[in-house]
Structure 1
Amino acid sequence: MDITLVSVHWLYLLFIVLIIGFMIRRLDTTVLCISGIFLLGLLATGDLPRSVSGVFGSFIYAIKELLGTILIISIIVGLSRVLTRSGINETMISPFARLIRSPGLAYWVTGILMMVISWFFWPSPAVALIGAVLLPVAVRAGLPALGVAMAMNLFGHGIALSSDYIIQGAPKLTADAAGIPVGDVVAASVPLVLVMGAVTTAVSFWYMRRDMKSGALTMSTGLKADVAAAGSPSGSASAPLSPRMRLFFAILVPVLFALDVVLMFTMNLQGGDATALIGGTALLLMLFISMAVHRKKGLEEATTYMTDGFLFGFRIFGPVIPIAAFFYLGDSAFFELFGKVLPEGSHGIVNDLGSALASAVPLNPAVGAVTLTAVGAITGLDGSGFSGISLAGSIANLFAASIGHGIATLTAMGQIAAIWVGGGTLIPWALIPAAAICGVDPFELARRNVKPVVIGLAVTTVFAMFLL
């Protein structure tokens, strides 16, 4: 094999190590990923113009792969804003408020409702959807605002975002990087998500009740601002809907999404097809509700909601695109951008590395599970949760090639670890949405989440070893 082409593999591996190092030190990886793309192209082709073009081409490739995910998130954010502004979200959630009569019920009802809504709307919009209504109710029931924020984080940014069964943005990123179907990752993640979610939320609840009894956690713990003010509705419609119309839309929205779920199961829709169904439903709902709420200004306001959603989507995925572009080079993107420059019989850089590792290092399921958890947790240190899950998928591919099986389980384990750490449960700057609406200090919220999440990851990793 040509020494230059062997060097391509080593250079790719070197940049993976550097990216992990940057994430540990909380440094931005964008410039590093772009440099890696350029140097890989230059080393493989020896052609400077082609290498420069490859950087831009890799971005186009990544955007094409991510575009469906970006669009669905953007549309759903636009829908969530019109629901919030029109007051429909309050009507949707108000029946659950009647169930909250104790701190324990407040924790579990808030958390479970957050999880369900987050599966359809993603956690950040879901915080806005339910926080304004349930926070004052939960506080009146005796649950500190910090406890409400914990429930939102663990159930929404933890369970719902790490599984992402409806929108399937996270499984698609990891599945693409691992080179397996989205459905395989989703199926493999079910038992892991159940264990991680059950252990983490139960441990968090136990610690919370213990500290409430001892006085270590009070109604004022972690508060930064007045809770009532933080939880009050943040907007009103310029042309408010009548109570009857709000009730109509409050029923229509969940019913249509429930029908989507039924269709996804009956018609076996997964990945892009499932995303398209949810996205089309959300888009039509947003337009229909905008016209009903704003009447004569409905056309202009509908465009505004769409624009706001797109701004949110590209702002969230801006840091993801460069790192995804780099990790896509480990698979088919390298051939598309730079041609058949790898050795005959090569199936991509990552697969080649996996084969080499399989012949050099006898790995076992225990080492693989621990490694993927560690890699996922490290990649989550940037506070995104999504920017590093492509890395988790690539490494799962590499380790599975060595072990001989278990790629879907390893990929799901890396995805769960990355999103639980970086998606909004441990990194303070990723906790801001829930912390802000609950009026608590994000650093205190992160501190409260550390033990439950670490214990949950440890138990889930051990459980994953038995599945491999």
Structure 2
Amino acid sequence: MGVALGSVHLIYVLFILIIIGMMVIRRETSLVCIIGIVLLGLTATGSLTASISGIFNSFIYAITELLPTILVICIIVAMSHVLTETGINETMIRPISRLVRNPAAAYWVIGIVMMIISWFFWPSPGVALVAAVMLPAALRVGLPAIGVAIAMNLFGHGIALSGDFIIQGAPTLTAKAAGIPVQDVITASVPLVAVMGLVTTVTAFWLLRRDLQKGKLQAEGQPGKPAATDPASRRQTSLLGKSVVRSLAIVIPLLFLLDVAAMFVFDLKGGDATALVGGTSLLILILVTLIAHRSAALERVTQELIKGFQFGFKVFGPVIPIAAFFYMGDAGFTTVFGEVLPAGSQGIVNDLGIALAHMLPINREVATVTVASVGVITGLDGSGFSGITLAGSLAQLFSAALGEGIATLTALGQIAAIWVGGGTLVPWALIPAAAICGVDPMELAKRNLLPVVIGLIVTTIFAMFLL
């Protein structure tokens, strides 16, 4: 029957509801999470000093859990900056721009290129890289700048980021919150990401083509100036030499393809796969910096790493307090506060799940709709990452009540949160792509709204049949 619910369980549920409410009204939740940690500790231990110490210790626990993810993202962003600065990024994708012969080809080619690059480099650095070469080509063949922005958003910040199969930052966060292996989340997310991506991108393309045929859209305007084409980039490219840039533009993708092959051959998963990508990225960063800057390479490597770490901790700064609170729902609580839960407790979230199983007629329909809805709500903060730990915790809760489907529910919550908050709907998360394409972020958000909503509905229904 499980352990009887106590004050600790009620406080945990109360703060989950408060956090969701704060996200709905678009307010930050870090302070709320910290207060929640203090009250959980005070209620469970009865000690003010233990509860206050618990804030710091919960942060340490969260950072320890998230550190591999934070580190690999910092390194990849630093490497991407070096490749963009030297013109290697632009050279790598220039041949693909020749495939852009009409608006339809431009939309799909830009989208697929953005997706592939985002798998390895993440979408944020990929935006400038893709737009630098593909935006002018798309405008020439009749695809408006808004169409380029839509393609980059849906394929990069949508499909690639919500699955995150290579870097595995997102599935690592949700898997830890749900208490399951990362590979389980990745495997379960593949069909869901495919359905969500297909429905969303096809719907967006149909709406875009309809407006082009009706004359509501025209391929005219003044797109932004991508960073990769600035004078500094040209000077650095000439410093390397065209032949060197071309050689590196071939070698670098081959190195990542070798990483992917090694993952299959040696069965590298989760942290091992992430470590391989991170190590390769660091070696590429060092190699390119040594070739480009020669005697100044020692200082430049340090500078690039600093830029990468600044980006990483800026992204994960608000995630750490939120993750610290939600880790309290599982093993994090006993790690921080000790064995203070009632005898027979399986963790706060598991206890709540078992209680739900006996209190409510929980079924797969209720579970999938609830997890998807919470994912959408948590994405409203414009991050996408700050709420996916909640999605993992709720998936764990509902799967405990259902007795199955934890991986599918976790993947669904992750997809919903990132598609909404990761850069396809929330206007302030769309600014990079909108700015570089010279379009209004609000207009881009409006264009993405209907395709993403339709995609979420279809994907949620599809997930019901997978449970």
- Asked whether the 8 Å contact 1:136–1:231 carries over to 2, the reply is no
Q: Say whether 1:233 aligns with 2:232.
A: no
Could you tell me how far apart the structure 1 residues matched to 2:199 and 2:224 are? Answer: 31
Per the alignment, residue 307 of structure 1 pairs with 306
Could you tell me how far apart the structure 1 residues matched to 2:321 and 2:44 are? Answer: 20
Q: What is the one-letter code of the residue matched to 2:330? A: D
Could you tell me how far apart the structure 2 residues matched to 1:257 and 1:229 are? Answer: 29
Per the alignment, residue 110 of structure 1 pairs with 110
1:131-280 aligned at under 5 Å gives the runs 131-220=131-220, 226-227=222-223, 229-230=225-226, 233-234=229-230, 235-236=232-233, 237-238=235-236, 240-280=239-279
User: What does the per-residue CA deviation read over 1:86-128, in whole Å, with 9 as the maximum and x for residues that have no partner?
Assistant: 0101110011011001011100000000000100000001112
Per the alignment, residue 374 of structure 1 pairs with 373
User: What does the per-residue CA deviation read over 1:221-271, in whole Å, with 9 as the maximum and x for residues that have no partner?
Assistant: xx6xx2163576144154721111001110111100010011111111111
Could you tell me how far apart the structure 2 residues matched to 1:109 and 1:93 are? Answer: 11
- Asked whether the 8 Å contact 2:224–2:435 carries over to 1, the reply is no
Cα distance change on mapping 1:232 and 1:62 into 2, 3 Å: closer
Q: Say whether 1:456 aligns with 2:452.
A: no
Could you tell me how far apart the structure 2 residues matched to 1:293 and 1:403 are? Answer: 57
- Asked whether the 8 Å contact 1:385–1:418 carries over to 2, the reply is yes
Structure 2 stretches of 5 or more lacking a match? none
Overall identity of the aligned pairs, in %: 64
User: What does the per-residue CA deviation read over 1:195-244, in whole Å, with 9 as the maximum and x for residues that have no partner?
Assistant: 00000000000000000111222234xx6xx2163576144154721111
Structure 1 stretches of 5 or more lacking a match? none
Q: What is the one-letter code of the residue matched to 2:195? A: V
Taking only aligned residues, the RMSD between alpha carbons, in angstroms, comes to 1.5
Q: CA deviation at 1:13?
A: 0.3
Q: Say whether 1:437 aligns with 2:433.
A: no
Task: Tell which deviates more after alignment, 158-167 or 123-132.
Answer: 123-132
Could you tell me how far apart the structure 1 residues matched to 2:433 and 2:466 are? Answer: 34
Per the alignment, residue 397 of structure 1 pairs with 396
Could you tell me how far apart the structure 2 residues matched to 1:280 and 1:441 are? Answer: 38
TM-score normalized by structure 2? 0.97
Could you tell me how far apart the structure 2 residues matched to 1:4 and 1:402 are? Answer: 15
Q: CA deviation at 1:302?
A: 1.2
Question: The residue matched to 1:78 in structure 2 has which SS?
Answer: helix
- Asked whether the 8 Å contact 1:366–1:465 carries over to 2, the reply is yes
Could you tell me how far apart the structure 2 residues matched to 1:50 and 1:368 are? Answer: 35
Which segments of structure 1 move beyond 3 Å, counting only runs of 4 or more? Answer: 228-232
Task: Tell which deviates more after alignment, 201-210 or 243-252.
Answer: 243-252
- Asked whether the 8 Å contact 2:255–2:280 carries over to 1, the reply is yes
Q: CA deviation at 1:347?
A: 1.5
Per the alignment, residue 328 of structure 1 pairs with 327
Could you tell me how far apart the structure 2 residues matched to 1:215 and 1:32 are? Answer: 49
Aligned residues: 463
User: What does the per-residue CA deviation read over 1:357-397, in whole Å, with 9 as the maximum and x for residues that have no partner?
Assistant: 01111211111111111010000000000000000000001
Could you tell me how far apart the structure 2 residues matched to 1:396 and 1:110 are? Answer: 34
Per the alignment, residue 406 of structure 2 pairs with 407
Could you tell me how far apart the structure 2 residues matched to 1:418 and 1:178 are? Answer: 15
Q: What is the one-letter code of the residue matched to 1:407? A: I
Q: What is the one-letter code of the residue matched to 1:76? A: I
Per the alignment, residue 465 of structure 1 pairs with 464
- Asked whether the 8 Å contact 2:128–2:228 carries over to 1, the reply is no
User: What does the per-residue CA deviation read over 1:442-462, in whole Å, with 9 as the maximum and x for residues that have no partner?
Assistant: 111000000000000011111
User: What does the per-residue CA deviation read over 1:112-160, in whole Å, with 9 as the maximum and x for residues that have no partner?
Assistant: 0000010000000111221111111111111111100000000000000
Could you tell me how far apart the structure 1 residues matched to 2:189 and 2:428 are? Answer: 26
